[in-house]
Amino acid sequence: MARVLSLFRHQPFLVHVGRRKPASCKMSMDSRARMVFAAAVEAVQPDTVVRQSIERKQDSVIINGHTFTLKHNLHLVGFGKAVLGMAAEAERILGDHLVKGVVSVPHGIQQTLQQNGKDHLLLKENSRIRVMEGAKHNLPDTDAQKAAEVIKQLAIELTEEDLLLVLISGGGSALLPAPIPPISLQEKQDVTRKLAGAGATIQELNTVRRALSLLKGGRLAHYAHPAQVVSLILSDVIGDPLDLIASGPTVPSEVWPEEVLSILERYKLLNSLPASVKEVLERPSPSRSHKTDESSRSGRVLNAIIGSNSVALKSAGRRALELGFRPLVLAPGVCGDVRVVSKLYGLLARFACSREEPPPEIAAELLKLGPEVGVESWDLCRTMQVLGEGRTEGWGSTCLLAGGEPTVELTGKGRGGRNQELALRVGLELRGMQLPPTGPVFLSGGTDGQDGPTDAAGAITDGGLYEEAQAQALDVNNFLTNNDSYTFFSRLSAGQRLLVPGLTCTNVMDVHMLLIPPIPINIG
């Protein structure tokens, strides 16, 4: 393993880590972890990302390096959980040229924002943007379908002189349901639910979903042609694939009925398809029309990612540096089973906190686990190299950051979510290590502020979790078997380890954080 790591010595990435010893900080590791997480969330607030992505210059606007002329020709549509705040900021900046707009947002969001003192994310009383709430319980419903119809009609009425600003965030797919007639909303939901239950991948689900939709797979842009379409996207998908975020309504994509039928046949669903779905799949695909080809070739569609997990991690790194840590990003796309992910973080903690040269078995095991959790071998080698140099050269405290969206296998009926369960499992992996401030601290939190059906975003843990639980007669394994991590952390030390930021108004997946204290080295 030493030979593998030696390949990465003296590379440019070391410049970003720095070699200046940070000033000591008197705050606890727990407090600093919470502050770093707060900085990650703050960086991807809906109004913040819109404000940073739009540059207004008199009667023109610059977005992603492209300049567009404003002449009272701006129309706005949006769909997603964070879109209301995005729309409010867009109207503040461009409202004098806004003709009209409509946004499809979650049921009850306006009242929730008011109750939580988030008035800056609400539209003004005289707004030209119509707010339509729907998708109760995050499921497509008739209210969301009505909003989709209004959005479609607005797009159809646009001309070559118009500019359509499209705002998209996580949850957008459920808030823009528009099945191709004669398919009903219920029939489309049933097909996708059966596919998901049969084990179809997200790519397969989206392929089928796009084939049955009037607006997904670039068809919203199709209806808006010949207008100029600009989409500002807050990504909640690993890797920020434009065609998967809200199923890509402004991302032209081919839909081949043969491919869709092949997927349905693979999961033995062909014979149970409603007659309406069969009828639609037998038609020529609208996405092959000349109009769609023309809009994509003429450059009349611009898609820009303005907020993502990577943006959140970058901001978290800056805050960590201010708080006395050397920031180091592992990867923004950690995924896979939380049991495997927890082992990865446990091994990284032991690698980083070793007072001597870590056993080669740790590095070998890390490289073996990496592919299972979406972390490239290159990133693991780079991370181990930096951690190793930090330890041997006495760099001081390190903040290892990562993002993504691990999964939990449900075996019980308890309350919790992937972040709380990951924190609980990492706590077990850290068992026996020193306690803070001389031992590591791990935090896992959802940037949307909600981890499963709970009011917590995640939790914070360290090597003392197991003994702490035993002292309170809490059987960790029973809570894990029942997927009851929220109840566990609520009872453990009166809930002090829970991460409860409240309503965050955004979502760019999760933030994982491993705080590593300065390690005294045994020189022999």
pLDDT tens figures, 138-152:
889 999 999 999 999
Sheet holding 66-69, edge to edge: 54-57, 60-63, 66-69
Q: Percentages helix, strand, coil for the chain, rounded to the nearest 5?
A: 45, 20, 35
Which pLDDT does position 128 carry in this prediction? 98
Q: Model pTM?
A: 0.89
Distance between CA atoms of 36 and 141, rounded to whole angstroms?
37
Considering the chain, what percentage of its residues have pLDDT values greater than 70?
91
Mind spelling out the 3-state secondary structure of 300-313? CEEEEEEECHHHHH
Band of pLDDT at residue 477, cut at 50, 70 and 90: very high
pLDDT, average across residues 434-456? 95
Q: How many CB atoms lie within 10 A of CB 71?
A: 11
The token pair that represents 17 in the structure block: 């880590």
Domains and CATH numbers, the chain: 45-283+298-307 (3.40.50.10180), 324-516 (3.40.1480.10)
Dump pLDDT digits (tens) for 294-309: 545 457 999 999 999 9
Which pLDDT does position 19 carry in this prediction? 37
Which pLDDT does position 355 carry in this prediction? 85
| Pairing, β 54-57 against β 60-63 | antiparallel
Vertex 350 angle, CA 373 and 376, to 5°: 25
Dump pLDDT digits (tens) for 3-30: 444 434 433 333 333 333 444 457 899 9
Handedness of CA 213, 215, 216, 217 (dihedral sign): positive
Per-residue exposure over 486-514, b if at least 16 CB sit within 10 Å of its own CB, e if not = bbbbbebeeeebbbbbebbbbbbbbbbbb
Q: pLDDT at residue 416 above 70?
A: yes
The token pair that represents 327 in the structure block: 């920031």
Q: What three-state secondary structure class fits 49? A: helix
Dump pLDDT digits (tens) for 387-409: 988 776 767 799 999 999 999 98
Q: pLDDT at residue 283 above 90?
A: no
Which pLDDT does position 383 carry in this prediction? 96
Contacts of 161 (CB under 8 A, 6+ apart): 71, 73, 227
Considering the chain, what percentage of its residues have pLDDT values greater than 90?
77
pLDDT, average across residues 87-92? 98
Contact 342, 361 (CB under 8 A): no
The rounded mean pLDDT for the chain is 90
Which pLDDT does position 287 carry in this prediction? 46
Contact 39, 318 (CB under 8 A): yes
Band of pLDDT at residue 200, cut at 50, 70 and 90: confident
Q: pLDDT at residue 260 above 60?
A: yes
Between 12 and 352, whose confidence is greater? 352
Between 287 and 26, whose confidence is greater? 26
